[in-house]
Amino acid sequence: MKTFRNLVLLILFFKAILSCKRGKDYKKDLISEVIENSSDSLLKVIWSQRKDFNVQVNFTQIINKDSVVPKFQTFSYPQGTPPYFYPASTVKLPIAILALEKLSVLQSEGIAIDHKTLFKTYDNSMQVLSAVDKTHSKGWLTIGHLIKKIFLVSDNEAFNYLYDFLGTDYINQSLNSKGIEGIRIVHKLSSNAISEVNSQMVFFSESLDTLYHQPILSSSNYNTKLDLKGLKKGKGFYKNGEYLAYSMDFSTKNYISLNALHGILRRIIFPESFSKDNQFNLEDEDLNFLRYWMSRVPTEINEPYYDRDLYFDSYCKFFMYGDTTGEMTPKIRIYNKIGLAYGTVTDVAYITNHKGLSFMLSACLEVNENQIFNDDIYEYDTIGIPFLAAIGRAFYNYELKTAELIK
């Protein structure tokens, strides 16, 4: 693996020398400064070719951390509206939040259900579709258990259940109403992802009395194509086993900008930094539930239980630890959501340690050297995840040095 990684580095280095166009128009900023002062060669080589990799970064320093409402200073690359990137599983972050918010709304209407309430799904004719979750100690499907699975192992099926619970209109209208721009979530996640909400949901008491019945939710027409740079990608892709020799069009797929993801996470960690209208309608209990499960790793949890060899600590923690399968230190907590699909790798995180150091970091890049989609040949393990691990360490070390200077 080391030999292969060194070969990749060598190739990238020579590409950087041949094609580097930083020139006189290159403007120094904090993000560039932190990366260029890093000792990680892969990080610096990819950064020198950041446009080719569609690298995007948001870094937020948290000032006056002990005050009721801290101050924030955010640095972003690139400026303006960046090219489209496929958000993959990062869309699970707002959906998990909105599921708890919808439960809160239903409770306010006198419906006695919460995130621990059992539910089953049914088709149009009320034939049972799903009634069991084997990872739950009682075999139950519950909203809370699905959220745990989303953050621990980024479970696609869990997302699809919550998508049906919320409906496309609720998702997009709720996010837009909170001032969150640069977002459109219009389909489920899987190899045969569909946009339609296609199941009824019935919530039950432990004695199986019906508490709430939600019919299949209709939705508005979201077929309008996105109007962004970078929507047509690559030189070809596979569809139903057939190779198509033209660019893949992402204009009808999910979209959520890195700025939007960064802002959504900040609304969970620092809700008081937003006006009431722009906060999620969540109780402290809900916020603490989200924060707890966002920051956990599979090896420290027994329910749901996951094989420790397959689901190691950094399975869903790309920043700082993504390039290792070893144990993460409990002195550092990473509250995050990752995404990985179509050659795009993303992490959105709030990182803190036992001494009170904390900052926010979001980043993504595209790693698809052959420019062909759906061939399962992406440089996730050699470039994408190691880049995110390295950039996480670079900003963590920068914050450590900054804290030392302040003392």
The string of pLDDT tens digits covering residues 92-135 is 999 999 999 999 999 999 999 999 999 999 999 999 999 999 99
CA atoms of 236 and 250, how far apart (whole Å): 13
Apex 157 CA angle, 256 and 85, nearest 5: 20
**Within a domain: residue 14?**
no
State the burial class of residue 279 (Cβ atoms within 10 Å of its Cβ: 0-12, 13-18, 19+).
Answer: middle
The H or E element containing residue 27 is none
pLDDT of 198 > 90? The answer is no
The string of pLDDT tens digits covering residues 35-87 is 999 999 999 999 999 999 999 999 999 987 777 788 999 999 999 899 999 99
Q: What percentage of the chain has pLDDT greater than the value 70?
A: 91
Nearest alpha-carbon partner for 94 in 21, 39, 166: 166
367 pLDDT tier (thresholds 50, 70, 90): very high
Q: 174 is written with which tokens?
A: 């709720």
The H or E element containing residue 185 is none
- State pTM to two decimals: 0.91
Indicate the SS3 state at residue 37. Answer: coil
Mean pLDDT (the chain) is 91
CA atoms of 344 and 340, how far apart (whole Å): 6
DSSP character string of 205-249: -TT--EEEEEPPPP-----PPP--TT-EESSEEEETTEEE-SPEE
**Within a domain: residue 235?**
yes
DSSP character string of 45-65: HHHHTTTTTT-EEEEEEEEST
pLDDT at 118: 97
Comparing 236 with 26, the larger pLDDT belongs to 236
The string of pLDDT tens digits covering residues 220-230 is 777 677 889 99
Within 10 Å of residue 357's Cβ, how many Cβ atoms?
Answer: 16
Q: Checking phi first, is residue 181 left (phi over 0); if not, alpha (psi -120 to 50) or beta? A: beta
pLDDT of 13 > 50? The answer is no
173 pLDDT tier (thresholds 50, 70, 90): very high
Rounded to 10 degrees, the C-alpha dihedral 331/65/385/295 comes to 50
Q: What is the mean pLDDT of residues 4-13?
A: 48
In CATH, what number is assigned to the domain containing residue 398?
3.40.710.10
**Within a domain: residue 387?**
yes
pLDDT at 405: 67
pLDDT at 27: 39
284 pLDDT tier (thresholds 50, 70, 90): very high
Domain count, the chain: 1
**Within a domain: residue 11?**
no
14 pLDDT tier (thresholds 50, 70, 90): very low
Nearest alpha-carbon partner for 56 in 87, 27, 23: 87
pLDDT of 309 > 80? The answer is yes
**Within a domain: residue 237?**
yes
pLDDT of 308 > 70? The answer is yes
**Within a domain: residue 13?**
no
The string of pLDDT tens digits covering residues 378-395 is 999 999 999 999 999 999
19 pLDDT tier (thresholds 50, 70, 90): very low
**Within a domain: residue 168?**
yes
219 pLDDT tier (thresholds 50, 70, 90): confident
SS3 assignment for 83-148? CCCCCHHHHHHHHHHHHHHHHHHHHHCCCCCCCCCEEEEECCCCCEEECCCCCCCCCCECHHHHHH
pLDDT at 266: 98
Comparing 403 with 275, the larger pLDDT belongs to 275
pLDDT at 193: 56
Domain that holds residue 250: 2-6+20-406
CA atoms of 281 and 287, how far apart (whole Å): 10
Apex 179 CA angle, 174 and 180, nearest 5: 75
pLDDT at 357: 95
| CB distance 231 to 251 below 8 Å | yes
| CB distance 95 to 174 below 8 Å | no
Which residue type occupies 172? N
**Within a domain: residue 259?**
yes
CA atoms of 296 and 319, how far apart (whole Å): 14
Q: What is the mean pLDDT of residues 283-309?
A: 96
State the burial class of residue 39 (Cβ atoms within 10 Å of its Cβ: 0-12, 13-18, 19+).
Answer: exposed
pLDDT at 285: 97
Omega into 82 within 30° of 0, i.e. cis? no
CA atoms of 288 and 152, how far apart (whole Å): 16
| CB distance 169 to 96 below 8 Å | no
Cβ within 8 Å of residue 383, ≥6 positions away? 8, 12, 42, 46, 53, 365, 367
